[in-house]
C-alpha cells in the first residue's frame, strides 16, 4: 500500500506543477493584493481526521509556509501575515504545545541557515506577546527579526502568541503612557494615531487586502 501511495504521489507531482503554473497565470491577470493575511487553521483537524497525532498536522502545515512565501514573491505581494499561534491556543494540551513549539523552532532554524530570506530580501516581524513563548523559540524569532530588519522586498509577519484583544490592550497601554507623559494630547487621538501603536505600525501596508483561512 505504501508503494502504491508513493507511485501515486510521484504521478501527481507533475500534474500539480502544471496546475500551479496555470493558476499563477490566471491570478496575474487580475489585481494582485498588496497584503495577504493567512489564518493557518485546520492542521489539527486534518491530522485527527486521519488518525494522526495533532502535531503531525502542524508539521504538514509548516512545510507549506515556504511554498506560500515563494508564491507571494513571484506574484509581487508586498506583505504576508501568517497567523500561526493565537493566545487562545495556549489552552491546548501541554504535549501538543510542546511539539508545536519544537516544530516552529526547527523551521526557524532552517530559515536562519538557509538563503531564502537573504536572497529575496525578506523581512521577518513577530506580532504577538513573545514573552509567553519558550526561551529558545523566542531567541530564534528575535534573531530572525534582527538579521532581516534592513530588508524591504517582502514583509512576512509571524503572528505568534497573538490575540486581537491583546494587541488592543498593548496599544492602549502604550498610548496611555504617552498621554500621561505629555507626548500625546487626548484631543489628538484618532484612528490614524491609534494605528501607530499597533503591532503593524511600521509596515508599509498595515491592513490586509485579502484574508485566507486554511
State mean pLDDT over 11-19.
52
Q: Give the residue with greater pLDDT, 30 vs 77.
A: 77
Residue owning grid cell 498610548: 175
Which residues contact residue 149 at a Cβ distance below 8 angstroms, ignoring those fewer than 6 apart?
Answer: 123
Catalytic residue among 4, 89, 178, 207: 89
Give the pLDDT confidence of 162-177 residue by residue, as tens digits: 999 999 999 999 999 9
Weakest mean pLDDT among 88-102, 112-126, 169-183? 88-102
Supply the pLDDT for residue 50: 84
For residue range 59-76, what is the model confidence (pLDDT) as tens digits? 877 888 888 999 999 999
Asked if residues 97 and 84 have their Cβ atoms less than 8 Å apart, the reply is no
Q: Catalytic residue at 89? A: yes
Q: What is the pLDDT of residue 4?
A: 44
- pLDDT of 141 > 80? The answer is yes
* Tens of pLDDT, residues 184-214: 999 999 999 999 999 999 899 999 998 888 7
Quick check: is 152 catalytic?
no
Say yes or no to pLDDT of 36 above 90: yes
Report if pTM > 0.85: no
Q: Which of 41, 170, 178, 209 is catalytic?
A: 41
Amino acid at each position: 500500500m505504501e508503494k502504491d501511495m508513493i507511485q501515486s504521489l510521484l504521478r501527481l507531482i507533475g500534474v500539480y506543477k502544471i496546475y500551479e503554473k496555470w493558476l499563477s497565470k490566471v491570478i496575474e491577470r487580475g489585481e494582485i493584493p498588496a497584503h495577504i493575511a493567512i489564518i493557518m487553521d485546520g492542521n489539527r483537524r486534518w491530522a485527527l481526521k486521519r488518525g494522526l497525532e495533532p502535531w503531525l498536522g502542524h508539521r504538514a502545515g509548516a512545510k507549506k509556509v515556504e511554498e506560500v512565501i515563494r508564491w507571494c514573491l513571484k506574484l509581487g505581494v508586498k506583505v504576508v501575515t501568517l497567523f500561526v499561534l493565537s493566545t487562545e491556543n495556549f489552552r491546548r494540551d501541554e504535549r501538543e504545545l510542546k511539539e508545536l513549539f519544537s516544530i516552529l523552532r526547527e523551521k526557524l532554524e532552517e530559515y536562519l541557515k538557509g538563503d531564502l530570506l537573504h536572497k529575496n530580501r525578506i523581512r521577518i516581524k513577530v506580532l504577538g506577546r513573545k514573552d509567553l513563548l519558550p526561551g529558545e523559540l523566542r531567541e530564534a524569532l528575535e534573531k530572525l527579526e534582527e538579521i532581516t530588519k534592513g530588508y524591504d522586498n517582502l514583509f512576512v509577519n509571524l503572528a505568534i502568541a497573538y490575540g486581537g484583544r491583546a494587541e488592543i490592550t498593548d496599544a492602549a497601554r502604550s498610548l496611555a503612557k504617552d498621554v500621561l507623559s505629555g507626548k500625546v494630547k487626548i484631543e489628538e487621538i484618532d484612528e490614524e494615531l491609534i494605528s501607530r501603536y499597533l503591532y503593524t505600525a511600521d509596515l508599509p501596508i498595515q491592513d490586509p487586502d485579502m484574508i485566507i483561512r486554511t
